[in-house]
Amino acid sequence: MPNRGALDLLNCFSMKATLNWLKQFPRLTLFVLLAFASFRSLAADKLTITINKQTISAYRTADLESAKKEATAAHKPIAWIATAPQLLDGRGTIALTNSRGATLHAFYALRDKAILVYEDAYAENHKVPPLVDDSLHTPDPHYTPPTVLFLDPEAKQVVAKVIYEPDFVKRANALAKALDEIKGKF
């Protein structure tokens, strides 16, 4: 087994050598940084959060086409979760009796049962496909986030809807009922 101190020294030397080399070629450094930022922005098409030590990914609304392809291939519905972005900061639990708890609960409960799509319910309000926008605002035009819409894999039909529910047990039952209603349809 190699000496840990020697490995740390080697890594440190390697890092310093790389930084010194990049200082000699400032244009190359700029190119490398821009390329890295571009790759990061491409990878940022999915929102990733950790809930109960589970990493959960959701497509953003702008990447609906990719979500539709994955849902079709997996024979799963799309779970469209309209909520506030500040509720996804990694704080709280799924049992909280507020919008944060309901949001985390939806992401956690549906993580392997549907293809998740995240909508910023405030910044993207009325900027999503009409089918989704109409369903979110019916019957309450000023709904309380989060609201979960279940769409068919092609995103042409809303097949179930779960509105905000502060009570954990009622919320769990509502999500389970919606999943039962659409079970086997895809």
Shared-domain flag, residues 94 and 136: yes
Residue 90's pLDDT is: 78
3-class SS at 182? helix
Domain that holds residue 145: 46-182
Q: What is the mean pLDDT of each run of 10 residues along the chain (186 residues)?
A: 44 47 53 42 70 94 96 97 92 95 97 97 94 95 95 97 97 97 88
pTM to 2 decimals? 0.76
119 shares its domain with 55 = yes
User: Domain of 97: which CATH number?
Assistant: 3.40.30.10
Same domain, 106 and 172: yes
- What's the pLDDT at 179? 96
How many domains in the chain?
2
Cα separation of 133 and 158, whole Å?
11
Based on the fold, state whether residues 20 and 32 are members of the same structural domain.
yes
- If asked whether residues 84 and 28 sit together in one domain, one would say no
Report phi then psi at 173, rounded to 5.
Answer: -65, -40
- Strands in 78-83's sheet, in edge-to-edge order, are 46-51, 54-60, 115-120, 78-83, 147-151, 158-162
55 and 87 part of one domain: yes
- Under 8 Å CB-to-CB from 103, ≥6 apart: which residues? 81, 83, 84, 87, 88, 145, 146
Asked whether residue 141 falls in the same domain as residue 77, the answer is yes
Pairing between β-strand 46-51 and β-strand 78-83 as defined by DSSP bridges: unpaired
For β-strands 54-60 and 78-83, DSSP reports them as unpaired
Domain co-membership, 71 together with 162: yes
